[in-house]
Structure 1
Amino acid sequence: MNVQKLCIAMLAILALSACGGVDPNSPLGQRKAIFKEMLKTSEDMNGMLNGRVAFDGQRFSDAAVKLDALAQEPWKHFPQVKEADHTSAKDDVWQKQERFQVLVSSLEAATGELKGVAAAKPTAAVLAPSLSKVQAACEACHKEFRVY
């Protein structure tokens, strides 16, 4: 009898813990996945520039291409009306669309520039200012439109 109660309790706990996740197919789930991949890619690139990871010009260039492609994607997963799910996006994303789009364009321009500079496979010192522009574009949008 005790084993049966324990099994029922464990099943209930497992069922309840599964309720808190974000649907990966929802707009929120889609953009979160893209943002996580953008962060991972830029962290790897930053690691190459600050010596934490061995610098590899081809790998950096490939990552810049990937980051530029990713930077084009999350915006289509912001629905016209804010979803009911818990999101890190402030209401201003939906209320100040023009400003939001300006910052989106800034990020896209910065990743495009980084991709172009990286294609020539220059030294880490030459790449650092372009990656800094990408990071500044991310930070600017986060300051205005993300809840911390």
Structure 2
Amino acid sequence: MKRHLLPLSLGLLLSLPAFAATPEEDAIERRHAAFELIAFNTSVMGGMVREKAPFDQAEFKKRALNVAFLAPMLEEHFPAGSDKGGTDALPAIWENKADFDAKMKSFQNQANLLYRASKTGTLDTLKPEFGKLIDECKACHDKYKAD
């Protein structure tokens, strides 16, 4: 039994590259993960902004920091060719890359502004900043994401 285990193990190990994802599939998977994390963090802040959850300044600040940290990572997960397969990303991203990149930068800037405001902000001062962040999300999604 043991002498059959080694060849079987080696065979499985050598076949792993055949099951490996392409770089484009990896990019899609990573951007989905990043967007899911951003969505989770914005939903926590959104609950506070809509007064569905009690305002907790420390929690809001933590969630704003998470979004500000994740936002710059998004742009590296849109390589050419990653518009195929399991993605809602529209080909318009790569057809209008300069505009898409500008929208990503604007989202990153607003995420940083929200984080800075969250350090000392009250719910009343954070509501408009959070609204601007959501507007940045929507500006990109309306043009570059299939729903």
TM-score range, shorter chain: 0.7 to 0.9
Q: What is the total number of aligned residue pairs between the two structures?
A: 124
Structure 2 residue ranges without an equivalent (≥5) = 1-22
Correspondence for 1:69: 69
1:81 alignment counterpart: 81
Q: Which residue pairs with 2:3 in the alignment?
A: none
CA-CA distance at 1:80 after TM superposition: 2.5
Name the TM-score, length of structure 1 as normaliser: 0.79
How far off is 1:83 after superposition?
A: 4.7
| Structure 1: runs of 5+ lacking an equivalent | 1-22
Structure 1 residue 70 displacement after superposition: 1.0
> Does the CA contact (< 8 Å) of 2:83 and 2:89 recur in 1?
no
> What does 1:118-133 align with in structure 2 at a 5 Å threshold?
118-120=118-120, 122-133=121-132
CA contact (8 A) 2:83 2:90 kept: no
Query: Which residue type is aligned with residue 64 of structure 1?
Result: A
1:145 aligns with 2:138: no
For the residues of structure 1 that align with 2:135 and 2:123, how far apart are their CA atoms? 18
Residue identity opposite 1:98 in structure 2: A
> What SS class does the counterpart of residue 79 from structure 1 fall into?
coil
Give the aligned residue type for 1:71. A
Taking only the aligned residue pairs, the percentage that are identical comes to 23
Deviations 1:40-97 (A, max 9, x none): 1001001012221111111111111111011111211111233531310110111110
Matches within 5 A, 1:107-126: 107-120=107-120, 122-126=121-125
Question: Map of 1:31-110 to 2, 5 A cutoff?
Answer: 31-110=31-110
TM-score, normalised relative to structure 2: 0.80
| Rounded Cα–Cα distance in structure 2 between residues aligned with 1:82 and 1:33 | 15
Mapped to 2, the partners of 1:97 and 1:83 lie a distance apart of 13
